[in-house]
């Protein structure tokens, strides 16, 4: 698969098949992703991978806690900036509306939206869950490095016919995640990610989010 094909076919998958992914495949994806660039070659990423019975055990804990804490334990960072301005605010709004439209959940259907939100915390039924953490000493540049590592992982997954769902939503359960997978205090949980085979028949996986035209974000000179 060409890199351009991996980029264009990668989506945020929100419905996975009940089909296991071999550990050897997951290890190969991570082996490939480790060649992502990082400033000074710091390689500031830490990954915790959970599958099988261990994943079921973890998701059961989360499901029990959700009964009394729908929105988790709070985050250690702002997932979105406060007072998000345009055009970013409109893009985020449209993305949400388009996603819920695929599953016929109206804006006024609060229960339906909460039910879909809760599916985040089942990794949308992905057979493999990953958590990414970064040392608290690191700054904005190293957070960018972590993002490039995660992107590399998602593209490597496409080579194996797999899809992913990167989920900053997991940040609201940072205490429970850290305790379960053993993230030390000096590391901060950034996000989770589901990995598996996409359910092609699920309407929500038919969503393709808009992309701004080149003229909107790129400036050229000297050509």
Residue 100 has pLDDT above 90, yes or no: yes
Phi/psi zone of residue 72: left (φ > 0), alpha (ψ -120 to 50 degrees), beta?
left
Q: Within 13 A of 99's CA, how many CA atoms are on the CB side?
A: 16
The CB density around residue 37, as the number of other CB atoms within 10 Å, is 11
Average pLDDT of the chain to the nearest whole number = 96
- Residue pair 190/132 in contact (Cβ under 8 Å)? The answer is yes
pLDDT of residue 56: 97
pLDDT of residue 60: 97
- The string of pLDDT tens digits covering residues 131-166 is 999 999 999 999 999 999 999 999 999 999 999 999
pLDDT of residue 167: 97
pLDDT of residue 70: 87
Per-residue tokens: 155: 């593209």
- The string of pLDDT tens digits covering residues 174-209 is 999 999 999 999 999 999 999 999 999 999 999 999
Residue 102 has pLDDT above 90, yes or no: yes
- Residue pair 97/107 in contact (Cβ under 8 Å)? The answer is yes
pLDDT of residue 221: 96
* Mean local confidence (pLDDT), 110-120: 90
């Amino acid at each position: 698969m060409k890199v351009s094909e991996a980029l264009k076919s990668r989506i945020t998958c929100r419905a996975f098949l009940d089909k296991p992914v071999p550990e050897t495949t997951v290890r190969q994806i991570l082996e490939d992703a480790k060649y992502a660039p990082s400033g000074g070659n710091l390689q500031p990423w830490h990954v915790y991978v959970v599958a099988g019975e261990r994943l079921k055990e973890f998701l059961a804990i989360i499901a029990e806690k959700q009964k009394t804490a729908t929105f988790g334990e709070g985050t250690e960072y702002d997932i979105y900036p406060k007072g998000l301005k345009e055009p970013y605010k409109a893009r985020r709004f449209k993305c949400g509306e388009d996603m819920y439209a695929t599953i016929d959940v109206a804006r006024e259907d609060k229960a339906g939206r909460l039910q879909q939100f809760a599916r985040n915390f089942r990794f949308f039924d992905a057979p493999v869950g990953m958590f990414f953490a970064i040392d608290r000493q690191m700054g904005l540049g190293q957070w960018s490095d972590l993002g490039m590592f995660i992107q590399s992982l998602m593209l490597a997954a496409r080579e194996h016919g797999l899809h992913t769902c990167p989920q900053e939503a997991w940040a609201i359960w940072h205490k429970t995640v850290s305790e379960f997978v053993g993230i030390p205090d000096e590391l901060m949980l950034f996000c989770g990610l589901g990995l598996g085979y996409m359910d092609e028949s699920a309407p929500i996986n038919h969503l393709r989010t808009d992309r701004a035209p080149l003229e909107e974000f790129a400036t050229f000179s000297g050509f």
